[in-house]
Chain A
Amino acid sequence: MQPPASTMPDADDILRVEDLKVHFPITRGAVFRRQAGAVRAVDGVTFTLARGETLGVVGESGCGKSTTGLAIARMVTPTAGRIAFEGVDITDFDQDHMRPLRRRMQMVYQDPYGSLNPRMKVRDIIAEPLEVHGIAGGRAALKERIAASMAMTGLAPAMADRYPHEFSGGQRQRIGIARALVLEPSLVICDEPVSALDVSIQAQIVNLFVDLRDRLGLSYIFIAHDLAVVRHISHRIAVMYLGRIVEIARRDDLYRDPLHPYTKALMAAIPIPDPELEATRPRQIVQGEPPSATGPRVGCAFHRRCPAAMPRCAQEDPVLMGTPGERAVACHLHD
């Protein structure tokens, strides 16, 4: 399958996402089901990811960050848009077509316990993807691969015969990572991988992700709600609001000089662990809550909460504009 010319990837790009939309139908009626509307979970997302790069994707619940990740992994079906992975347009791939690509694109989830089968030993959990893909090799080779995968994620290979419940949350997330890496993927989509962990353990796992990336040349999409966490792992960061990217920038640019009022609001809302600094920090708490993803989109999705809203913002929906790969913002203040 030849991707359309517009999504032809650069040699360096591992992933290109273009105007991705994922709408979930809302149906009414028990006998004659009819579509009564749609939740526009992802509503026009465009970005590229370079080989070896980490893109942090942040936003609050309902902003579409997790659905974006699931759509890229083709675990939900896009409503519109294109996804090209390693030069192959996978937008319309079914599960059979995706199977060989799954080796190259793996997911790590938030809840390390919920995503591990409690009745399987760690060795079988890690071996499963190898067996599914028919690349298990001989018994000795399999054992070696499991041991290598465990060692790489900081688990003692001697723990291979234990069950998930015998591990702490941080160790379970290591198992989840070992399972994802045993297939030697090039892209790992991490959906809130440290959100459920305690602070002291969170730092261990973030560092593990960084080390593995540097060692194995992995690319990550690192989805999180916490701007402070993604800072320590991302090269670039995309901020999402109501199904769209409202700002995307290189890490240091974003933190030094956030442009979108929503990005600023997110940063202002996150307290800094320093009482003296907090006492003098200007407090601009944005009021209200995100609007519903089912209603019509009139004007900028953020305009009702935006401290800098102009009359135009209530009518015209701003588009993401800027330099691809560097910085782009969807805000009339920066048109």
Chain B
Amino acid sequence: MPALLEVRGLTTRFRSSGGTVTAVDDVSFDVAQGETLAIVGESGSGKSVTALSILRLIPTPPGRIEAGQVLFEGQDLLTLDDAGIRAIRGSRIGMIFQEPMSSLNPALTIGLQVAEPIVEHRGATWRDALTRARGLLDRVRIPDAAQRLAAYPHQFSGGMRQRVMIAMAQACEPTLTIADEPTTALDVTVQAQILDLLKTRSEETGSALVLITHDLGVVARYASRVAVMYAGRIVEIAPARRLYRTPQHPYTRGLMQSVPRLDSDTAERLVPIEGQPPDLGRLPQGCAFAPRCRVVMPRCRTERPVLAQIADNHAAACFHHA
């Protein structure tokens, strides 16, 4: 069975007076139907730009998708015209972003905004769409959905707004949902509610989920497969259990050790990754992680390792595994 989404050699650059930065550098991965793939990385890793590139939401200028293919249900999204991509966004691909307030129109009622994609993509009448919107708000557990249809976004808490975003993203029963740090701005108890809801709704509608996050705990709880990004590249990709049990890339291992955990018995010292995060404008010639790597070899400073298969479904970009 072909993958639902196949990203091949995706490369996105941003130009500024200071020079050109490669935010996403030759990124390839697949998403199967119904699975949850997490893309995890720190700031500047390229995880959000990857999501925005798939959705063709890169502001041009300064950004530009310079190479690659994004095959969604067999069709290359990068070759579609504006009308073509708009017909897919919000319909067959649902989107959820970190700050719902900037994705919602402050001047329109919640009901109109949830109903809109149903009218636009499904050709429903407004009356039918509003009825469906009410059902959708029920399903994301917004109390008094019928009354809340007439409310405006500012009357909702951050958590409630993110529920609205999930309702909108799932309104047309997409086959793929892309959620970019959907709970970073929320408190932990609300974060758990929203992520559980997102996962449940995706399972109910059969949608695959691409979850972009910096939180290794969130990845462990919700993802079946994980891609780890560093300085614009995927450095390791594997099924979640395998990645956590036997991380192969030194950066992945470093991340696992540096994250504070609730469950270790004594409060041992954290093991940070030494050094500074990569400066995309001045990446070293070889492996971008070489300056911080504990097991760096001379070769790592001159040559760039490529993502290579090291076991079934497990690939890493490191000369130790080449």
Question: Which A residues contact B (CB, under 8 angstroms)?
Answer: 60-61, 168-171, 198-204, 206-207, 210, 225-229, 231-232, 251-252, 255, 265-278, 283, 285-287, 289-290
**Bound-state Cα–Cα, A168 to B291, Å:** 15
Question: With an 8 A cutoff between CB atoms, is B313 at the interface?
Answer: no
Cβ B214 vs Cβ A199 within 8 A? yes
Question: With an 8 A cutoff between CB atoms, is B1 at the interface?
Answer: no
Cβ A200 vs Cβ B269 within 8 A? no
Within 8 A of A (CB), among B255-282: 255-256, 258-263, 267, 269-274, 276-277, 279
**Bound-state Cα–Cα, A332 to B217, Å:** 32
Counting chain B CB atoms within 10 Å of each CB, the highest count among A200, A206, A252, A274 belongs to A200
Which residue of A has the minimal Cβ distance to B216?
A273
Given the interface pairs A198-B214, A199-B42, A199-B216, the reply to whether A272 lies near B270 with Cβ below 8 Å is no
Question: With an 8 A cutoff between CB atoms, is B244 at the interface?
Answer: yes
Q: A110 to chain B: closest CB distance in Å?
A: 14
Question: With an 8 A cutoff between CB atoms, is B229 at the interface?
Answer: no
Cβ contacts under 8 Å, B15 to chain A: none
Given the interface pairs A232-B269, A273-B219, the reply to whether A268 lies near B42 with Cβ below 8 Å is no
Which residue of B191, B256, B261 contacts A228 across the interface (Cβ within 8 Å)? B261
Cβ A272 vs Cβ B241 within 8 A? no
Question: With an 8 A cutoff between CB atoms, is B215 at the interface?
Answer: yes
**Bound-state Cα–Cα, A286 to B244, Å:** 27
Which residue of A has the minimal Cβ distance to B279?
A168
Cβ B262 vs Cβ A60 within 8 A? no
Q: B178 to chain A: closest CB distance in Å?
A: 20
Cβ B220 vs Cβ A275 within 8 A? yes
Cβ contacts under 8 Å, A283 to chain B: 196
Which residue of A169, A269, A272 contacts B220 across the interface (Cβ within 8 Å)? A272
Cβ A200 vs Cβ B273 within 8 A? yes
Given the interface pairs A272-B220, A274-B244, the reply to whether A198 lies near B42 with Cβ below 8 Å is yes
Known pairs A226-B188, A289-B187 / 12 extra A-B pairs, C-beta < 8 Å:
A168-B277, A198-B214, A204-B273, A232-B269, A273-B217, A273-B220, A274-B263, A275-B223, A277-B220, A277-B263, A287-B193, A289-B160
Cβ A275 vs Cβ B271 within 8 A? no
Q: A272 to chain B: closest CB distance in Å?
A: 5
Q: A307 to chain B: closest CB distance in Å?
A: 12
Cβ A171 vs Cβ B260 within 8 A? no
Question: With an 8 A cutoff between CB atoms, is B176 at the interface?
Answer: no
Which residue of B187, B218, B245 contacts A225 across the interface (Cβ within 8 Å)? B187
Q: A194 to chain B: closest CB distance in Å?
A: 9
Cβ B273 vs Cβ A272 within 8 A? no
Given the interface pairs A275-B241, A278-B220, A285-B196, the reply to whether A266 lies near B263 with Cβ below 8 Å is no
Q: B270 to chain A: closest CB distance in Å?
A: 4
Question: With an 8 A cutoff between CB atoms, is B221 at the interface?
Answer: yes
Question: Which B residues contact A (CB, under 8 angstroms)?
Answer: 42-43, 157, 159-160, 187-193, 196, 214-223, 240-241, 244-245, 254-256, 258-263, 267, 269-274, 276-277, 279
**Bound-state Cα–Cα, A327 to B196, Å:** 33
Cβ contacts under 8 Å, B263 to chain A: 272, 274, 277
**Bound-state Cα–Cα, A232 to B271, Å:** 11
**Bound-state Cα–Cα, A203 to B271, Å:** 7
Cβ B272 vs Cβ A200 within 8 A? yes
Cβ A203 vs Cβ B277 within 8 A? no
Given the interface pairs A273-B219, A275-B241, the reply to whether A202 lies near B258 with Cβ below 8 Å is yes
Which residue of A has the minimal Cβ distance to B159?
A289
Cβ contacts under 8 Å, A271 to chain B: 192, 215, 217-218, 220-222
Which residue of B160, B214, B215, B276 contacts A168 across the interface (Cβ within 8 Å)? B276
Cβ A231 vs Cβ B262 within 8 A? yes
**Bound-state Cα–Cα, A168 to B217, Å:** 25
Cβ contacts under 8 Å, A274 to chain B: 220, 244, 261, 263
Q: A91 to chain B: closest CB distance in Å?
A: 31
Cβ B270 vs Cβ A207 within 8 A? yes
| Leading 10 A-B pairs by shortest Cβ distance | A271-B217, A203-B272, A200-B273, A60-B187, A198-B42, A203-B270, A271-B221, A203-B258, A269-B192, A273-B216
Cβ B189 vs Cβ A199 within 8 A? no
Cβ B190 vs Cβ A200 within 8 A? no
**Bound-state Cα–Cα, A278 to B224, Å:** 12
Cβ contacts under 8 Å, B270 to chain A: 203, 206-207, 232
Cβ contacts under 8 Å, B222 to chain A: 271
Cβ contacts under 8 Å, B43 to chain A: 169, 198
Cβ B267 vs Cβ A207 within 8 A? no
**Bound-state Cα–Cα, A268 to B191, Å:** 11
**Bound-state Cα–Cα, A199 to B253, Å:** 13
Given the interface pairs A266-B188, A275-B220, A285-B192, the reply to whether A228 lies near B277 with Cβ below 8 Å is no
Cβ contacts under 8 Å, A267 to chain B: 262
